[in-house]
């Protein structure tokens, strides 16, 4: 469990960019953090990842206080973070060098096993071109995700991971996130993209460094107008459901996934 208690953060002597944040993230939960540019999303992600420390308040990761130096190593192992630009996160040109970099202390066999498993989880063939600079940004981002997974963290933080990636690459990453959710990772997904919000169980809206709204996924459909206030467009799927409703076709979804939508349409047609 991740717990933030009255967390405040500022860069150097500047004004607070996060103010009195209280937030609990349960194990195996996926939360989306949304909000306009500059609202403090990335700062919050870095605090949760333990990259920066709160100026006031406390952050606990599985009851370990992030500020206590004795917990540093323990917490670091639990956390994996993926940023926007894979080119900033990849150090080597060769896939195996890249993936084994953080695993040096392990046995050769263990490294091999971890690399194989994590490549499977991101749907990259292990015979993929080993020259990383020749891969697409979407593939590189999947390499970054594999690298993070190979360290076997419990918590995954994604900070706008698909911004630089084309639409087919985006879809592949969404599928991976869905699968990681099912596998039981606890996920913090920072985004401003309507479609990506649907990956989460709960949505936290930041505005000027404060939690402005907390929305459970089940309430999302009725609360989307609230989100439009924060510059978040209604997802296409929601628009479609609304339009169908006007035509007298009612579709009730629990998870708001495209697959679920297709299944419901099929059901209707077969009636």
Ligand X SMILES: Nc1ncnc2c1ncn2[C@@H]1O[C@H](COP(=O)(O)OP(=O)(O)O)[C@@H](O)[C@H]1O
Whose Cβ is closer to Mg ion: residue 42's or residue 58's?
42
Residues numbered 30 to 49 that lie near ligand X (CB under 6 A) are 35, 37-43
Pseudo-torsion of CA 224, 35, 82, 73, nearest 10°? -120
Is the four-CA dihedral 235, 187, 259, 213 of positive or negative sign? negative
9: number of Cβ within 10 Å = 21
Q: Which of 253, 229, 75, 69 is nearest to 157 (CA)?
A: 75
**Least distance in angstroms from the C-beta of 40 to ligand X:** 4
222: number of Cβ within 10 Å = 9
**Least distance in angstroms from the C-beta of 163 to ligand X:** 11
Q: Which does 216 bind (CB under 5 to 8 A by kind): ligand X, Mg ion, none?
A: none
Among 1, 6, 11, 179, binds ligand X (CB under 6 A): 11
* Residue range at the interface with ligand X (CB under 6 A); choices 9-17, 66-74, 210-218, 243-251: 9-17
Whose Cβ is closer to ligand X: residue 70's or residue 88's?
88
Tokens 């004795």, residue located: 70
Whose Cβ is closer to Mg ion: residue 8's or residue 42's?
42
Q: Which does 182 bind (CB under 5 to 8 A by kind): Mg ion, ligand X, none?
A: none
**Residue 44 backbone phi and psi in degrees, to 5:** -65, -40
34: number of Cβ within 10 Å = 28
Whose Cβ is closer to ligand X: residue 21's or residue 79's?
21
Strand 30-34 versus strand 202-207 pairing type: parallel
Residues numbered 16 to 75 that lie near Mg ion (CB under 5 A) are 41-42
- Burial per residue of 185-214, b for 16 or more beta-carbon CB atoms within 10 angstroms, e otherwise: bbbbbbbbbbbbbbbbbbbbbbeebebbbe
Tokens 């609360």, residue located: 223
Q: Which does 37 bind (CB under 5 to 8 A by kind): Mg ion, ligand X, none?
A: ligand X
**Least distance in angstroms from the C-beta of 208 to ligand X:** 9
Whose Cβ is closer to ligand X: residue 43's or residue 100's?
43
Binding residues with Mg ion: total (CB under 5 A): 2
Bridge partners, 157 (sequence order) = 81, 188
* 236 lies in the binding site for ligand X (CB under 6 A): no
**Least distance in angstroms from the C-beta of 213 to ligand X:** 15
Among 17, 82, 99, 203, binds ligand X (CB under 6 A): 17
- Site residues (CB under 5 A) for Mg ion? 41-42
Residues that bind ligand X (CB under 6 A): 11, 14, 17, 35, 37-43
């Amino acid at each position: 469990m991740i717990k933030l208690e009255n967390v405040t953060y500022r860069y150097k002597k500047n004004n607070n960019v996060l103010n009195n944040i209280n937030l609990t993230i349960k194990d195996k939960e996926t939360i989306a953090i949304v909000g306009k540019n500059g609202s403090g999303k990335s700062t919050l992600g870095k605090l949760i990842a333990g990259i920066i420390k709160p100026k006031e308040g406390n952050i606990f990761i599985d009851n370990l206080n992030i500020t206590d130096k004795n917990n540093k190593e323990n917490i670091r192992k639990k956390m994996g973070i993926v940023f926007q630009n894979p080119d900033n996160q990849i150090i080597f040109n060769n896939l195996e060098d890249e993936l084994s970099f953080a695993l040096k202390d392990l046995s050769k066999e263990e490294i091999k096993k971890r690399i194989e498993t994590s490549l499977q989880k991101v749907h990259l063939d292990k015979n993929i071109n080993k020259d990383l600079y020749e891969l697409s940004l979407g593939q590189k981002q999947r390499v970054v995700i594999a690298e993070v997974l190979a360290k076997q963290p419990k918590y995954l933080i994604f900070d706008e991971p698909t911004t630089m990636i084309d639409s087919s690459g985006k879809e592949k990453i969404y599928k991976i996130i869905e699968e990681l959710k099912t596998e039981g990772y606890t996920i913090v997904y920072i985004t401003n993209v309507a479609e990506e919000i649907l990956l989460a169980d709960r949505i936290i809206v930041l505005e000027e460094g404060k939690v402005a709204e907390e929305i459970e996924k089940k309430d999302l459909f009725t609360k989307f107008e609230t989100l439009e206030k924060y510059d978040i467009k209604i997802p296409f799927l929601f628009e479609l459901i609304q339009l169908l409703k006007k035509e007298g076709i009612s579709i009730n979804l629990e998870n708001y996934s495209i697959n679920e939508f297709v299944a419901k349409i099929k059901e209707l047609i077969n009636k």
